[in-house]
Structure 1
Amino acid sequence: MTTTGEEFTAARGGPLWWTRWRSAAFDWSLALLSAVECAVEGVPFARDAGLPVAAGVVFGLLAGSVLVVRRQWPIAVVLVAIAITPAQMGFLMGIVGLYTLAASELPRRIIGSLAGMQLVGTLIVTFVQVRQSMDRGHQTVGDWFIPFAALATSLGLTAPPVLLGLYVGARRRLMESLRERADSLERELQLLAERAEERAEWARNEERTRIAREMHDVVAHRVSLMVVHAAALQAVARKDPDKAVRNAALVGDMGRQALTELREMLGVLRSGGPRERAVVPLAAVGVAAAAAASRAVEEGEGPCLEELEELVGQSAAAGMVVDLSVEGEVRSYAGVIEQTAYRVVQEALTNVHKHAAGAKTHVRLAHRVAEIAMQVENEPPPEVGSASSAGLPSGGNGLVGMKERVVGLGGVFVSGPTEAGGFRVSAVIPAA
C-alpha cells in the first residue's frame, strides 16, 4: 500500500535529527566502522610522524566517529575526510560523506567544489604513494603508470559515490513531489466531494422550497375559496336551495382542481422509473428533482396566463367584486414566466379572500416589449374583521413566496398598503 506525504511525515520519529530509529542505528554502525578503520590507519601514521601509537589511534577514533553526523552536517564530514586524506586515513568516511553530500539538498556548486577538493586531495596523495613505492623498487612499471594509477584511484574513490548520491537525491525529491501531488489531489477530491454535497443539499433545499411554494399556492387558494363557498352554502342552505346546490358544485369543482394540481406536482417528483431511482445516490435526489421540476415547467405543465380569466371568475363566484384588465399585445412566454405570473395573481387574490373579504379588487396585466407586469390592488374591505369570520388562517408565507418567484427570474416585486387603506401587489418579470 502507498502512503501519502502527511502519513509519511506522521510515521517518522527518531532521536535527534534522525527521522527513524533504523537510520540512527545505521549511521552509528557506519561511524563505528569508520572509527575502527581510522584507528587502524592511525598506527602507521603515528609511526611515520614520530608520535605515540596511542595518539594515532585516538586521533583515528575521533576523526572516524565524525561520520555519525553525516545526515545533519555532510559538509563537515567531507571537510574532515579531506583534511585527513594526507594521513592516508578515512577512505570509508570520504566515500560515505561524498554520497551523503551529493544526495542532500545543498546547491550543486557546493557539492561540485567539495567533490573537486576531495578528488584533488586523493589524486595528490595517491600520486605521492605510487611514486614512493616505485622509488623503493616495489613497482617496475614505466613512469606513465604513476599519473594513471593516481587518476584512476582518485576517480574511483570520488566519482561513484557522487553519481550515486545525485541519483538517490533526485529520486528522493521525485518521490516527495509525487507524495505532495497525491496529497494535493486527495485534498482536491475531498473538496470536490464536499462541494458536491453542498450543491446537492442546496438543490434539495431549493426543491423543498419550490414544493412548499406550489403547495401553498394550490392549497391556500383552492381551500380558501372552498371555505368561502362553504360559508356561503351554510348561510343560504335553507333560504335558497338552488344557490346552495350551485355553491356545493363549485366547492366540488375546486376540490377536484386542487387534487389535480397536487397530482401533477407529485408526478414530477415521481418522474423516472424504479430502476433509475434505485441507482441514483441520495445526494443527487435533490438535483434530479429540481431538474425534473424545471423540465416540467418549461414543457408547459402547470397554470398559464390563459387561465387568468378562469381564476378571476372563481373569485367572482365566491362573492368577490373583481375586474381584470389586460394591456398591450397578448403573446406567449416561457412556461416558468407564465406560471410565476399566474401564481402571483393567484396568491394576491387569496390574500384578499383572507384579509379583505368583500373588498373590490382590480387585476391588471400589461404586456410590454421586454417584460410583463401585473398588479393586484384591493380597496378597503367594507367590514373590519370579515376575514376572521370566514375562519381563514394565514401562515405569513404568501408574500415571501411571491417575491422569491419573481426575484428568481430577475424581476422586481413590491407589495404594501395603499393610501386609501387597501393593499397593492405589483410585479415585473423580464420576458426573456
Structure 2
Amino acid sequence: MTRNRSGEAAARGIGLAGRARRTVRDWAVDVLCLTAAALVGLLAAAALRTDPHTSGAVLLADQIVGAAACAALWVRRRRPVGLAVTLIAVSTVTPPSAGAMLVALFTVAVHRPFTVTAWVGGAALLCAVVSAAVRPDPDLTFAVSAITGVLMALTAIGWGMFVRSRRQLLLSLRERAQRAEAEAGLRAERAQRLARERIAREMHDVLAHRLSLLCVHAGALEFRADASPVEVARTAGVIRSSAHQALQELREVIGVLRAPTVADAGDPGRPQPTLAALGGLVEESRQAGAAVVLDQRVADPAAVPDVAGRTVYRIVQEGLTNARKHAPGSEVTVVVEGSPERGLTVEVRNPASVVVADGPAAVPGAGQGLIGLAERAALAGGRLEHGPDPGGGFRLRGWIPWRP
C-alpha cells in the first residue's frame, strides 16, 4: 500500500499528473499559468500594433492563434512534449503565442527528464533567435530581441527544473520517512517478540521447577496412605510453601509483562539467581525426595559473573526438573566446574528411571525446556548439548564463557 501511494505521488508530481483527477491546487496553477500566458500574449499583440509593417488581418490572425495557444494549455499535463514542440513552432511566426509556449516549456521541465527538457529547450532557444528575425519587435533591435527571447526561455526551463528537483526531494524525503516508520515498526515488533520470548523462558524455568516439586510432594501424599500425621503435615507445609513461592514468582513475571520498558531494559524487576544459590536449589530437590549429588568445583561461586552464573543455575534447574518428570527415583549427579580462563562447564546426569509401576504418575512436560535452554546458552555466548547417556539414562551438558 505504501509503495502504491508513493508511486501515485511520483506520477502526479513528476510526469503523469494529468491522468489523475485534478485537485484544487491543480486548478489554481492552471488558472495562474493561463493568465500569465494571456498577459504575455497581450503585451506582444500590443507591441505589434505599433508596427506599421503589420496589417490588421495579420494582427487579428496573431491574436486568434495566441488565444488558441492559451486554450491548448489545458492539455499541457497530458501531452507536455507534443504541446511544447507545437507551440515553439507556432510562436516562431506568431509572437502572441510566446506566453503559452513559455508555460508549455515550463511544464516539460517539471514533468520530463533532463534529456527531454534539453532537446525541447534547445529547440526553443533556436526558435527564439529565428523569431527575432522573422517577426522583429518594432521597438527593439534584433540582438536585444533575440537575447530577450533566449533569456525568457532559459528562465522558464530553469524554474521548471527547480520545481521538479524540489518535488523529487520532497518525494524522496516522504518515502524515506515512510520507510523509517516501517523499519521502526519492525524493530518494535522484534523487541516485543524478544521480550515475550524472554518472559516465556522465565516462566518456564521458574514455574516448571516449582510445579514439578508440587507434583512430587502431592504424589507422595497420594501413594503414602500409611504416612504418619506428622509426615502428612510436613509434606502439606512444603506444598503450601512451594505453591506460595510459585504464585509469587508468577505474579512477578506478570508484572514484567505489564511493564514492557523494564523487560526491554533486560531487568526483569526481581532478584535473579546466581551460581551461589545453586546449593539451595539442590536442597529443595532433596527435600522433595530426590537423590541429588552436587559436585561444586568452582572455588568462589560468588565471583562468577551474574549472566554466566544465572545461565548455569537455569541449566541445573531444568535438568533437575526433567529428572523428576522422566526419571523419578533416579539419582541425579550435578557437576559444575570452571575458571575465568576456561569458562564454566555444567553437567547434569541421571540413569534410567527406577520407579515401580504403582508409583506416582510422571509429571507431563511440554518439550520446550531444552529448546529454551539452548537459546539461553547461545545468548550468553555458550552452547548446550543433551541426549541419551552411553551408559543409560540422560545427560545434559553446557559450557558458558566466564564474562560479565
Q: Same fold (TM over 0.5)?
A: yes
Which residue, 301, 310, 315 being the options, matches 1:344? 315
Q: RMSD across aligned C-alpha pairs, in angstroms?
A: 4.2
Q: Which residue of 2 aligns with 1:403?
A: 374
Partner-residue secondary structure (3-state), 1:373: strand
Which residue, 255, 268, 271 being the options, matches 2:243? 255
Q: Which residue of 2 aligns with 1:333?
A: 304
Which residue, 349, 354, 360 being the options, matches 2:325? 354
Q: Given that residues 292 and 334 in structure 2 are in contact (C-alpha distance below 8 angstroms), is that contact kept between their aligned partners in structure 1?
A: yes
Q: Which residue of 1 aligns with 2:128?
A: 115
CA distance in 1, matches of 2:90, 2:254: 85
Which residue, 258, 264, 269 being the options, matches 1:291? 264
Gaps of 5+ in 1: 48-52, 85-89, 130-148, 271-284
Q: Which residue of 2 aligns with 1:92?
A: 96
Which residue, 306, 317, 324 being the options, matches 2:294? 324
Q: Given that residues 226 and 254 in structure 1 are in contact (C-alpha distance below 8 angstroms), is that contact kept between their aligned partners in structure 2?
A: yes
Q: Given that residues 100 and 165 in structure 1 are in contact (C-alpha distance below 8 angstroms), is that contact kept between their aligned partners in structure 2?
A: no
Closer, same or farther: CA 93–359 of 1 in aligned 2, 3 Å: same
* More RCO (CA 8 Å, sep 6+): 2
Aligned-residue offset at 1:98: 6.5
Identity %: 29
Gaps of 5+ in 2: 1-5, 21-25, 74-79, 110-116
Letter paired with 2:378: V
TM norm structure 2: 0.73
CA distance in 2, matches of 1:316, 1:163: 97
Letter paired with 2:218: A
Q: Given that residues 98 and 115 in structure 1 are in contact (C-alpha distance below 8 angstroms), is that contact kept between their aligned partners in structure 2?
A: no
Letter paired with 1:205: R
CA distance in 1, matches of 2:183, 2:85: 49
Q: Which residue of 1 aligns with 2:155?
A: 167
Closer, same or farther: CA 117–236 of 1 in aligned 2, 3 Å: same
Q: Given that residues 12 and 20 in structure 1 are in contact (C-alpha distance below 8 angstroms), is that contact kept between their aligned partners in structure 2?
A: no
CA distance in 2, matches of 1:96, 1:154: 23
Q: Given that residues 380 and 420 in structure 1 are in contact (C-alpha distance below 8 angstroms), is that contact kept between their aligned partners in structure 2?
A: no
Q: Which residue of 2 aligns with 1:426?
A: 397
Q: Could you give the per-residue CA deviations for residues 371-415 of structure 1, whole angstroms, max 9, x where no partner exists?
A: 21211111112247678x335121111111111211122211111
Q: Could you give the per-residue CA deviations for residues 16-35 of structure 1, whole angstroms, max 9, x where no partner exists?
A: xxx989969959x97xx89x
Aligned-residue offset at 1:422: 0.5
CA distance in 2, matches of 1:102, 1:267: 64
Partner-residue secondary structure (3-state), 1:303: coil
Q: Pick which of 191-200 and 240-249 moved more.
A: 240-249
Q: Give yes or no for the alignment of 1:233 onto 2:221.
A: yes
Which residue, 183, 191, 208 being the options, matches 1:195? 183
Letter paired with 1:12: G
Letter paired with 1:241: P
Q: Which residues in structure 2 correspond to 1:374-413 (within 5 Å)?
A: 374-383=346-355, 389-413=360-384
Q: Given that residues 375 and 426 in structure 1 are in contact (C-alpha distance below 8 angstroms), is that contact kept between their aligned partners in structure 2?
A: yes
Q: Given that residues 337 and 429 in structure 1 are in contact (C-alpha distance below 8 angstroms), is that contact kept between their aligned partners in structure 2?
A: yes
Q: Could you give the per-residue CA deviations for residues 285-342 of structure 1, whole angstroms, max 9, x where no partner exists?
A: 64x14224x1247xx7121111111111221222222111122433433433322221
Q: Could you give the per-residue CA deviations for residues 321-375 of structure 1, whole angstroms, max 9, x where no partner exists?
A: 2111122433433433322221111111100000000111110111232521211
Give the length in aligned residue pairs.
362
Q: Could you give the per-residue CA deviations for residues 195-225 of structure 1, whole angstroms, max 9, x where no partner exists?
A: 2222222222222222222222222111111
CA distance in 1, matches of 2:227, 2:86: 116
Q: Given that residues 387 and 395 in structure 2 are in contact (C-alpha distance below 8 angstroms), is that contact kept between their aligned partners in structure 1?
A: yes
Larger Rg: 1
CA distance in 2, matches of 1:213, 1:335: 17
Q: Which residue of 2 aligns with 1:273?
A: none
Q: Could you give the per-residue CA deviations for residues 29-82 of structure 1, whole angstroms, max 9, x where no partner exists?
A: 97xx89xx8xx99xx9999xxxxx99x999989998995889526456545655
